[in-house]
A and B are shown apart, each in its own frame.
Chain A
Amino acid sequence: MSELAETMIVTEGLTKAYTDGTEVRALDGVDLSVERGEFVAVMGPSGSGKSTLLNLIGTLDEPTAGGVMVDRVDVSTLQGNALADFRRAKIGFIFQLFNLVPILSAVENVMLPLIPYRRQCKFDLEARARELLDGVGLAERANHLPSQLSGGEQQRVAIARALVNEPAIVLADEPTGNVDTRAGDEVMELLRRVCDEGGRTVVVVTHSPRVAAFADRVYFLKDGAIVDQSRLGGARSLEAIWARLAIG
């Protein structure tokens, strides 16, 4: 198989500028690629352009220049309904503030992205939603409202919701930003499983090294540009750990 066939996301010269008297470049010529089934983190301080990058990859925003290819489709060629259909077929989103609908139960929130398309679904949407909630350890909480759940639980509902359309790509913007350390680790362990067991491509943007450490590869973003990338893990790192843990 060619290398191209294995690439899930490619950005070329991706640029987003805002003009407010003077031009401000939130993102300035970003080239990155993410392989199918890879877990990638984009790390950078606040204001470095992380969320802008994620929104452009997720087709929630349009670039000023440059382009995004998602699963070999140039998303700039898609408009209106075609773009919405593409997004619904390919991408699941997870946000820092969960974005659950407060008057809907957990299971209804999970079903929500597909409710308008329910009649076209060739499966039982509610059964799938319950199965997904079971997968994130919340089977018992399916009928609870978001306000009856902890922050970590709400984010797990959001993960289940992101998976309801069986997307090839899951995009997460600071997914642990609003939960405590322990719950944040659980959220990240779930996302790791979404990648390892579900075979999905996961891109997480974060400022936190603790979160980025879950990824296979990290892109470092600064002032709207990629300054470096790093493949994580390997024998050398493991040796360094054993040396550090050596106790006698």
Chain B
Amino acid sequence: MTVKHTLLALLNHTPTHGYELRGLMEATLGDHWVINTGQIYSTLSRLERDGLVVRQPASVDEAAERTVYDLTQDGRAELERWYREPLPRTYRLRDAFHAKLMLSFFSGPVPPAGVLQIQRGELLSEMHELTRLRAEADPASELPWLLLLERAIMHLEADLRWLDVCEARLDELRRMPPPRHVSRPRGRPPKRGQPDETS
């Protein structure tokens, strides 16, 4: 999560102070975004140091926490750069369940079909709770939260469909030869011309 760009985006909408930024953040993204005020102030001072935001000279309140910030030209440019750049996906593909399933093919005590079924029940159970939370969310006032839940549901749907695909290929997987250790050189070959550390 990028607090930096969230603050830039909010300040681009309205120049304001740290305390209000926290409230605006919750209003925009949903109140499940737990962020402490300290993190907002430290991010604001970093942004100020980097010339992306500037204190407004005529702050109404002299108290530090009432300092009103605004974007600079550089801040606006950075915000636009962020919007225009696609974000890398953080969803991890290689996971512990994939490893467990592959291991179950040659090493009991639970057969692969059982391993799949246990996981399916667990994911469906989570999906049930997410479905309930989504039904409870108010579509008018909690749309950001509702869409986040929807995203979680769709991820689970994809995971469950992947389990179906694995199940459909159980017979093929069972015919895989059992693993055998093959010795092969690992890692990077040593660079030539480097001094030998052991000598």
Contacts and interface: CB of A to CB of B under 8 A. Distances in A.
**Binding partners A and B:** yes
Interface of A: 45, 189, 192, 209-210, 212-216, 218, 220, 227-228, 230-234, 236-238, 240-241, 244-245, 247-248
Nearest to A244: B152
Contacts of A238: 129
A213 B117 contact: no
B93 to A, nearest CB: 16
A174 to B, nearest CB: 16
Contacts of A230: 120-121, 124-125
A194 B20 CA distance: 43
A248 B156 contact: no
A214 B131 contact: yes
B153 interface: yes
A237 B127 CA distance: 8
B148 to A, nearest CB: 7
Contacts of A209: 123-124, 127, 156-157, 160-161
Given A212-B124, A232-B124, A241 B131 contact: no
13 contacts: A209-B156, A209-B160, A210-B127, A213-B130, A220-B117, A227-B117, A230-B120, A230-B121, A230-B124, A233-B132, A236-B125, A237-B128, A241-B130
Interface of B: 1, 32-35, 117, 120-133, 135, 148, 152-153, 156-157, 160-161, 164
A244 B148 CA distance: 11
A216 B130 CA distance: 13
Contact of A233 (B128, B135, B152, B153): B128
Q: Which one of B120, B126, B133, B161 has the greatest number of beta carbons of chain A within 10 Å?
A: B126
A236 B152 CA distance: 16
Nearest to B168: A45
A209 to B, nearest CB: 4
Contacts of A215: 128
B43 to A, nearest CB: 13
A209 B32 CA distance: 26
A123 B132 CA distance: 35
Contact of A241 (B35, B117, B129): B129
A6 to B, nearest CB: 22
A163 B33 CA distance: 42
B131 A228 contact: no
Contacts of A189: 135
Contacts of A45: 164
Instruction: Point out which of A218, A232, A248 has the most chain B C-beta atoms below 10 A from its C-beta.
Output: A232
Contact of B117 (A212, A228, A240): A228
B132 to A, nearest CB: 7
B121 A214 contact: no
Contacts of B132: 233
Contacts of A240: 122, 126
B164 A245 contact: no
Contact of B1 (A192, A216, A232, A247): A247
A218 B124 contact: yes
Given A227-B117, A232-B128, 12 more contacts: A209-B123, A209-B157, A212-B124, A216-B128, A230-B125, A232-B124, A232-B127, A237-B122, A241-B130, A245-B32, A245-B152, A248-B35
Contacts of B157: 209-210
Contacts of A216: 128
Nearest to B164: A45
A228 B121 contact: yes
Given A192-B135, A209-B157, A234 B125 contact: yes
A213 B159 CA distance: 14
B87 to A, nearest CB: 14
Contacts of B122: 237, 240
